[in-house]
Amino acid sequence: MTSITPPAAPTSVELMDQLAQTAAAYYRNFATAAAARGLTLMQGKMLSLLRRPMPMRSLADLLACDASNVTGIIDRLEARGLVRREADPADRRIKRVTLTEEGERTVQEIRAELLTTLSGLDDLGEQDRRTFQRLLTGIFPAGAA
């Protein structure tokens, strides 16, 4: 046998553990970028969701949390001038949450800083980028990701 044995492919459990490490690192870096602007992780996540004006209810659904939590988080973001509550002309029960200009700026700063911590992404070739996207989208059953 002169052939070189390739390294064993990782098991599902090993991949799960690696995914846990990566998910933890992602949130650690996200929280750091948010904290640099005086925001908590949840406040930063909330801002990141507001690419378009959205009802409080939708934000609760996206965060998979109770609607009552959103009230407090939006309260604090509004007090800091990062978001606004606007009336929905079509349904007066609904309040649309909108980013202010400072809110937009803050989101962009957080995303830019996070992107620098993900420097490894820039070095990937086209094939790796396609594969990575396919793998990331495919590991959780439809609807869970």
Partner DNA sequence: TATTGTTATACTCTATAACTATA
Partner DNA sequence: TATAGTTATAGAGTATAACAATA
Q: Cα separations (Å) of 127 from 89, 112, 120, 123?
A: 47, 24, 15, 12
Task: Locate the DSSP E strands across the chain.
Answer: 54-55, 83-87, 95-99
Choose among its own copies, DNA, none what residue 36 binds, the Cβ cut-off being 5 to 8 Å by kind.
Answer: none
Residues comprising the chain, all counted: 145
Query: Taking CB within 5 to 8 Å according to partner kind, which of DNA, its own copies, none is near residue 93?
Result: DNA
Mask 81-120, x = binds its own copies (CB under 8 A)?
------------------------------x--xx-xxxx
Q: Choose which of 76, 98, 109, 111 interacts with DNA (CB under 7 A).
A: 76
Is residue 36 a contact residue for its own copies (CB under 8 A)? Answer: no
Instruction: Tell the burial category of 36 from Cβ atoms under 10 Å away from its Cβ (0-12, 13-18, 19+).
Output: exposed
Residues 28-57 that bind DNA (CB under 7 A): 40-43, 55-57
| Contact footprint for DNA (CB under 7 A) | 40-43, 55-58, 63-76, 85, 91-96
